[in-house]
Structure 1
């Protein structure tokens, strides 16, 4: 019996390895395939009060600070209506090989409003449980070499619930140039048969893609398989801005577990 279990476990592990060997990355636009290549991302150690020491290509985080996660909540007398708010902040400096630096200050806010049925008798409730609104807002400011006259803002908003009226938006802009951010996956063209595809984002100016990042590699072993594509036609400053935005999102995703949803 023990021999059968060992053989089954060995077969299961072998199947997982075969799947991972044949794993696909997110599908990126043709111009990124032509004008860039995937850069492997190393997260590095994440010390106390710090974010990960992210590094890819010529870009690396040289200093960082991570604040405490703060949660507040309130409810009515009978706990049939509750509101909660969670805030998490972090900042970091990322540099390129020319020693140019980008200072990034980021914050994530999650607000949830929900109602719950009132228990009149054991197992008998008046009303139903309902999430009225769940709003997720992530913002990050990016400043290159201390030049505050050209501040870039990364904004990613999403919400759902019975009272939600916003489908969400995601952009990177300095008020003049604007990149729209789109979700990306390894199954965009229908060729990835895994239950959980690789996931990421792509930044585009109109139809031209300038950046893509993969924050989950897909499958059962998809963590720590992050990749970044940066358009080589961009100048050094633009590349650093894009690298800073990608790093902010990668750090954000390390604290989230929505890849299985």
Structure 2
């Protein structure tokens, strides 16, 4: 298994990260993609992944909540900084990027309209960078699933896309519609919270297995609400996918592993099934 989206630089892992990584290995996880939320976090991700070559892999981006809080000059500098790192480091993906239309995040800007404009501009930049650098995107779309997918579909009209919609909380019908418009390169990753989330189960039911991936989003989205999540919990997500699809869990893990290999091509040297 490969964890396609984790925040291992989070303060939640300061005291026991080595134990968390050992637990991940013993449950069959061969690689973890570590995403960043800010420019400083991107540097932390690069340092952490350099200390665990072949197991941890860096994805560099700006979270839409962070984008919303920045003044124009700060945002320009952050975008330039991430872009430079993407061009000069062994990043395997761009992320976490995207849109967040939750009321709390929209209230961080002068107006909701300003927040949406700032996020859309940054997202468009990263979509373009993804296509130029041939790096997949890890996309956040909280309360904005339909809007984020619209950006992806529009980008796909110009050039091929490679996109993972992480922990997608939008309607399954929007996912199905986007998959018809983007016949290749669009995937949806499933976190361990699928154990308790009917909306995610509906997504799993209606999205073809060949378009699903696994993620932890550690330390968030644990199987039990309020608990710290970790990559080892991918096992639970795979079990629920198998249950919903009515197939053997080994077959699910095999298919999702092959999906991950197709999307995150720079992670394949450490890929196992």
| TM-score scaled by length of structure 1 | 0.33
Q: Which structure features the higher share of strand residues?
A: 1
| TM-score scaled by length of structure 2 | 0.32
Computing the radius of gyration from Cα coordinates, the structure with the larger value is 1
Q: Which structure features the higher share of helix residues?
A: 2
Question: Which protein has greater RCO, CA pairs closer than 8 Å, 6+ apart?
Answer: 2
